[in-house]
Amino acid sequence: MSRSFGQRLWSSLQERGPLCVGIDPSPALLAAWGLPDTPEGLERFSRTVVEAVGDLVAVVKPQSAFFERHGSRGIAVLETVLAELRRRGTVVVLDAKRGDIGSTTAAYADAYLDRSSPLSADAVTVTPYLGFGSLQPMIDKAAEHDAGLFVLARTSNPEGAGVQLAVAADGRTVGGTILDEVAALNRGAAPLGSLGVVLGATLTGLAADVAGLNGPVLAPGVGAQGADPAGLRRTFGTAATVVPSVSRGLLARGPGVADLREGARRLIDECAEALS
C-alpha cells in the first residue's frame, strides 16, 4: 500500500531533519547569481538548488509564481524540477497558494495532486479564504493520491491580520477556525495527518493553537524575513510538528553548490536543536 503524505513527511523529517528549502528564482536572486532573467537562467538556478539540497533536506518547496512568469518555458522548467526532486526521493511542496470554487478547484487538484500530472507534487499550498468548504475537491484528490495540503492559516504579512484575526460569530478568529477544521480532518491519523497549515515563523504565541493539530506546520520566514531557529519552539511549543522554511536567507549564499549545501546543513542542525 502507498504511504500517506503525512507518513512520508514524518519519515523524511526523521531521516533528514526539520528543514524546508524554497526554490524562489526571483529576478533579484537571478541577478545576484549572475544569471539572466530568462528561462535559461531559471533552469540553471533551479538545477543548482536541487543539486545542492535535493538529497539533503526533508522538504523542497518550489515557488510556482517565479516559474510562471516565464510562460510555457518556465512551466517546463518547473516540470523538470519536480521530476528530478521526485527521482531523489525528496518530499516536494509546490507553493502555488491556489483557491477557488467548484470545477476550478477540482482542476487545480488535478494539476497539482494527481500523480499522472507533470506538475504533481507531494503537497500544495492552498488558500481557504473563499470558505474552508471550497477546498473539498482538493481534500478529496489529496486523499485519493496520498498527497497533502498546506492550508494558509496565519501568515506573516501585515495585511493578513485584518482577515485572519477577524472574529466570527462564535468568538473564534478566522485563522482559528481554519486550524480547527484541519485538526478535525487529521483526527486519528498516525504518525501525522496529511493536512497541514501555513503559519508564519515570525508570529508569536501559537503553541496553544497548534497543540491538537496532528498535522505539519509549514513555517516560512526563517532568515530574510527575520525569524531565527532559536525562536521556533517559543512560537510553536512542543506539541507541533514544525517544518521551518527558508528561501532567500539560504539562496543568497549561492551560486556555489558547496556554499548552499553547507548553509543548509547548518540550518538543519540549528532547527533540530531548537525543536528538540
Tens-place pLDDT, residues 26-49:
999 999 999 999 999 999 999 999
Phi, psi dihedrals of residue 150, rounded to the nearest 5°: -115, 115
Average pLDDT for the chain: 95
The pLDDT, as a whole number, for residue 1 is 45
> Is 97 part of the annotated catalytic residue set?
yes
Total residue length of the chain: 276
Give buried/exposed letters for 83-97 (b at 16+ CB in 10 A, else e): ebbbeeebbbbbbbb
The pLDDT, as a whole number, for residue 276 is 87
d(CA 210, CA 45): 35
Q: Which residues contact 248 (CB under 8 A, 6 or more apart)?
A: 24, 26, 29, 223, 224
Mutual angle of helices 71-87 and 39-53, in 10-degree steps: 10
**SS3 of 96, please?**
strand
**SS3 of 156, please?**
coil
Query: DSSP letter at 212?
Result: T
> If you count DSSP H runs as helices and E runs as strands, how many of each does the chain have, helices first?
13, 8
Q: Check 47, 86, 97, 248 and give the catalytic one.
A: 97
The tens digit of pLDDT for each residue in 116-170 reads: 999 999 999 999 999 999 999 999 999 999 999 999 999 989 899 999 999 988 9
The pLDDT, as a whole number, for residue 228 is 84
Share of the chain above pLDDT 90, in %: 91
